[in-house]
Amino acid sequence: MAVLVTGGAGYIGSHTLVELLEASIDVVVVDNYSNSKPEALNRVKRITGKDVTFYEVDLLDEKGMEAVFKKHDIEAVIHFAGLKAVGESVALPLSYYHNNITGSLILFKLMNQYGVKKLVFSSSATVYGLSNLSPLIEDLPLSTTNPYGTTKWMIEKILEDIYQADPTWQIVLLRYFNPIGAHESGLIGEDPSGIPNNLMPYVTQVGIGKRKQLGIFGKDYDTPDGTGVRDYIHVVDLAKGHLSALAYTTTQQGIEAINLGTGKGHSVLEVIKTFEKANDVKIPYTFMDRRPGDIGTCYADVSKAKELLGWEAKRSLEDMCRDAWRWQSMYPEDYVND
């Protein structure tokens, strides 16, 4: 019996593989390396001392995916694979809908065909849209503002319909808040291609001198210091949340959307200050206009995760900053220089 992990070479996938392997859970990984590198899986092996069964397959390749289902006794699936860049999704909606939706449909069809009905799906806090107020609770009305977010919302809907038609499915929709940080070994971490869109990889690249200064998007939000507030969660805490969700699917039937966050909001200026203090590194910054589509404040209500999964985030913002910096300074060119 094994757990199929789609997108396992990616940022969150690789950290989750470490936790799965360390818990002695058998894994089979598929990834097409469209946004990751083979080295990530070598590093997972280095951390855990365990081999990873891996297939370089695209989810859109139904035959290739079916071969994996045929060959292995898959018991459950953790589905990370997907394209995730918001701006790119606005420019390339067809690619995003095709990759994320069609890829997921092929996966769910094969799961159905092979009687695999336990699923943990990577959704996102982006499905809460712009108008809901934090703390965000799972049963709020959903809306999205870009094709990436819409793929997450649509996949959630598709899974609800699958469950309605066949209540023997056991599905957890994990709505991630802002995953940052890296494994404490410094061997795996976030590996953005090009100019980072997200705050922490931008900060670490300013820290090593790859970028001159951070642009802070907006200083007039209705927040304590005027800069945007988010619920940053350490990627290792997030990874552990997947093991709890997986365990939940083995005992409960149903479909549940569950937030994975810390329940605490931190502003951009707070992140910079904490990063500078934790790592003794200066982060020059300048204020810029608000980024279109951004909201001032976004943080999770985390009571459902605690109640249903018995999981809560343990690591502090300082831990996140320290671990992100260790990864960045050990591997300034990410996975390529080893």
On whether the CB atoms of residues 231 and 263 are closer than 8 A, the answer is yes
Q: How many CB atoms lie under 10 A from the CB of residue 126?
A: 25
Q: How far is the CB of 124 from ligand NAD (least distance, A)?
A: 3
Residue type, 254: G
Stretch that binds ligand UDP, among 64-72, 98-106, 193-201, 247-255 (CB under 6 A): 193-201
Residue 336, burial from CB neighbour count under 10 angstroms (0-12, 13-18, 19+): exposed
Which of 55, 97, 114, 217 forms a contact with ligand UDP (CB under 6 A)?
Answer: 217
On whether the CB atoms of residues 249 and 310 are closer than 8 A, the answer is no
Q: Show contacts with ligand UDP in window 274-313 (CB under 6 A).
A: 291, 294
Tokens standing for 125?
A: 């806090």
Stretch that binds ligand NAD, among 5-13, 181-189, 210-218, 247-255 (CB under 6 A): 5-13
226 binds ligand UDP (CB under 6 A): no
Question: Measured between alpha carbons, how far is residue 21 from residues 4, 50, 321 in Å?
Answer: 12, 7, 25
Which of 41, 233, 268, 324 forms a contact with ligand UDP (CB under 6 A)?
Answer: 268
Q: How far is the CB of 86 from ligand NAD (least distance, A)?
A: 10
Round to whole Å and give the CA distance between 45 and 214.
34
60 binds ligand NAD (CB under 6 A): yes
Tokens standing for 266?
A: 């931190």
Binding site for ligand UDP (CB under 6 A): 178, 197-199, 202, 214-217, 228, 230, 268, 291, 294
Binding site for ligand NAD (CB under 6 A): 7, 9-13, 30-36, 58-60, 80-84, 99, 103, 122, 124, 176, 179
